[in-house]
Amino acid sequence: MPEDPIKPDPNQRLGNMSKNAAFLMLMGLALLFLIQTVRSQETAPARISYSQFLEYLDEGRVHKVTFRDRAMEGEFRSPVTIEGQEYVSFASRTPGDVGDGLLAQLAGEGVIVDAEEPQAGWGTFLLGALPWLLFIAFWIWIFRTMQGGGNRAFQFGRSKAKLISPDTPKVTFADVAGADEAKEELQEIIEFLKDPAKFSRLGGRLPKGVLLVGPPGTGKTLLARAVAGEAGRPFFQMSGSDFVEMFVGVGASRVRDLFEQGKAHAPCIIFVDEIDAVGRHRGAGLGGGHDEREQTLNALLVEMDGFESNEGVILLAATNRPDVLDPALLRPGRFDRQVVVDAPDVKGREGILRVHAKKLPLADDVELSLIARGTPGMSGADLANICNEAALLAARRSGEKVSMADFEQAKDKVMLGTERRSLVLTEQERTLTAYHEAGHAVLGLRIPGLDPVHKVTIVPRGRALGITASLPEEDRHSYTKEWMESQLAMLFGGRVAEELIFGPDDVTTGAGNDIERATSMARRMVTTFGMSDVIGLVAVADNEQEVFLGREISQRRTVSEHTQRIVDQEVKRIIDEAHQKAHDVLNENKELLESIAQALLERETLDREDIKALERGDPLQPMPDPLVEEEAPLAEKKSAAGAPEKVKRPFGLGGEGPLPGPAPGVVEPPDEDERT
């Protein structure tokens, strides 16, 4: 369907009229000034000195004299030639006040004497007219700024929405992967716009609003850009934060102006990104009904579904905080549809990787399906970051194509963190970290039902000194009680390994994050998931969310002290059982624990194939890089003789030095601060 021609703006005509009036006014002033200048040059008097004036007076040539303050003008009785030019009038200045002697001489010569007030010249005239000229220029400027665009003055109430022009590079649904259901919902909206009769013949009406809901990075804004590219209709784009300014009433005015523009170009789509900035819950919050944000929301509610209808204007909005939106905004009739844009599954991740890999020269060994299976829970933004990091790594090594090794290294960098090669560890700390991570790995191998161990490393990455990463073989959406109890045991694997190898008195702070995560998981099992026989199927968790002004002012405690004491006892019991389970498993697999720890000390990083070989008892493949003897650069640990220790390590990995913080590691990719 062809787009409607843009209607002429009356404000533009007003601006053109004001500019024409200003131009004519300036031309008239210039013409008047020119005429006056020429006329004054034609009748200009002769400028003579006071001495010459006295000579002409003595000769009887002066006919008339007019005094103005200390200036005087006069006329000759007959034309006088001065410097080759004849003059009939003259002008001069007196050295002081006119005395009685001069007046008596003038009277004796029969000269006509007159006196006048000083006349204002052009400078005085312009100075007096300057306020009026400024006033006229100010109103011309106001007319121009009221019809102009951008961030000019008096534009506070105008909408900041941008109309996507046809010349803008288009994003289509072919560029969006991993959100098939959302694309189907939005494709139907586009068909509504292109062929309304197809749906209205059975009594259907055009949806008024579509809300895209999902975690950050899942592609909500990208879907909106694809709708703009596919719709073929006017598309206005605006952010929720653009509505509210420091001036009262600006937000509501901008909402009204936005929908006026939409109705002028109907049928059209208006996209508001991050609508939670303006659509938050109303109620008993600060500011009451006169709060600027609430006025803006009220205007939005009226425009979407009020007394006047806005047929043909579809509001498309995106947010990752639907819980804070006002219920009046979410009801049918305003947002008729809520489209969930969630993290993609393995098929969707593969599609997203293929979209981003189109721009990359891929090597023959790249298998995007393997990368998709190894990135569970990642959003589209994370996968785009992996592709970009892989391309940067390939460029850093001056490669012609992006290989599978580049993708694996980029995936580890995004999921596990960047290798901190500058962090120097002593040999004792490396040993502690190796046994800590080996304890996690042994439990991951020996406890049934846990996710396979993907990689174990004692090279510091991100905020962790060592990492044991487990990746599921398939996407997991719910968890069993058995799996969570096994996960708790694996979390305690590092601490139990330290206890078995170095003794209970020599444990380190490296298990701080493990203990914190285990405690949180055990508490949720008891209070939220109903996995405690003592508490039963009762939700006894306190509200852990922040107080949201507008919905509640204070948090209410719904759990009695007696129940809370029982909850604490149950959490302690579950944690103690997990700790004992980890202790029993490691006692039965001390040889595997020792072999993994020694392999980590030798190689620093073990992948899945190395871990499987150690589990079978097979020797590891020779390392491609020879071991080199490397001296610690900062003399971090001295031997008894005073010389720096030498540590054998794979070339280019790790380093030695004083540990600025706690010791080893974590289980799985670190999603929070891993240091305690």
- Of 415, 441, 464, the position where a domain reaches its end is 415
Q: Which two three-digit tokens encode residue 348?
A: 């969707």
The residue with greater pLDDT, 519 or 101, is: 519
pLDDT range class, residue 484, cuts 50, 70, 90 = very high
Question: Is the alpha carbon torsion for 506, 510, 516, 517 positive or negative?
Answer: negative
Tell me if 145 is assigned to some domain: no
Residue 674: both structure tokens together: 């891993």
Question: Are residues 443 and 522 both part of a single domain?
Answer: yes
Question: Are 355 and 502 found together in one domain?
Answer: no
Whether 14 is covered by a domain: the verdict is no
| In-domain check, residue 138 | no
When pLDDT is averaged across residues 328-343 and rounded to a whole number, the result is 88
Q: Which residues does 378 contact at the CB level (< 8 Å), separation at least 6?
A: 343, 349, 386, 415
Number of structural domains in the chain: 4
Of 41-50, 85-94, 218-227, 237-246, the one with minimum mean pLDDT is: 41-50
- Comparing 221 with 21, which gets the higher pLDDT? 221
The answer to whether position 240 is within a domain reads: yes
Whether residues 208 and 78 share a domain: the answer is: no
Of 220-224, 232-236, 456-460, the range with the lowest mean pLDDT is 232-236
Q: Are residues 320 and 357 in the same domain?
A: no
What pLDDT, in 10s, does the model give residues 570-602?
A: 999 999 999 999 999 999 999 999 999 999 998
Report the CATH number at residue 363. 1.10.8.60
Among 340, 362, 397, the domain boundary falls at 340
Give domain status of residue 26, yes or no.
no
DSSP 547: P
pLDDT-derived band of residue 473, with 50, 70 and 90 as boundaries? confident
Higher pLDDT among residues 361 and 65, named by residue: 361
- Does residue 36 form part of some domain? no
CB atoms inside a 10 Å sphere around CB 249 = 14
Say what the pLDDT of residue 515 is. Answer: 93
User: Domain containing 60: what range?
Assistant: 45-119
User: Which of 294, 309, 340 represents a domain boundary (last residue)?
Assistant: 340
DSSP 154-199: T-TTS---EEPPTTSPP--GGG--S-HHHHHHHHHHHHHHH-HHHH
In a domain, 58, yes or no: yes
Same domain for 298 and 220: yes
Same domain (yes/no): 511, 460: yes
**Residues 557 and 637 placed together within one structural domain of the fold:** yes
Are residues 194 and 261 both part of a single domain? yes
170-179, 545-554, 594-603: range with lowest mean pLDDT: 545-554
- Are 486 and 431 within one domain? yes
540 and 460 both lie in a single domain: yes
d(CA 411, CA 505): 38
| pLDDT of 415 over the 70 cut | yes
Pick left, alpha or beta for residue 596 (phi over 0 → left; psi -120 to 50 → alpha; otherwise beta).
alpha
Residue in the structure block whose two tokens are 């721009």: 359
Span of 58-67, 130-139, 281-290, 329-338 with lowest mean pLDDT:
281-290
Could you list the active site residues? 437
Which position has the token pair 């004299």? 65
Which of 437, 445, 451 lies closest to 484, judged by CA?
Answer: 451
Please give the pLDDT value at position 395: 92
Question: Using an 8 Å Cβ cutoff, are 453 and 445 in contact?
Answer: yes
The pLDDT of residue 654 is above 70: no
Evaluate if residue 655 carries a pLDDT over 60: no
Statement to judge: residues 619 and 586 lie in one domain: yes
Q: What is the CATH number of the domain that holds 103?
A: 3.30.720.210
Same domain, 336 and 358: no
Alpha-carbon span 141 to 638, nearest angstrom: 77
Average model confidence (pLDDT) across the chain: 76
277 has pLDDT over 50: yes
Is residue 228 within 8 A of residue 269, CB to CB? The reply is yes
For residues 341-355, average pLDDT: 89
pLDDT band, residue 646 (cuts 50/70/90): very low
CB-CB neighbours of 672 under 10 Å: 9
Asked whether the predicted pLDDT for residue 435 surpasses 70, the reply is yes
pLDDT tens readout for residues 31-81: 766 666 655 555 577 788 878 888 888 878 888 888 777 778 888 888 888
pLDDT more than 90, % of the chain: 19
Backbone φ, ψ for residue 227 (5° rounding): -65, -40
Is residue 23 domain-resident?
A: no
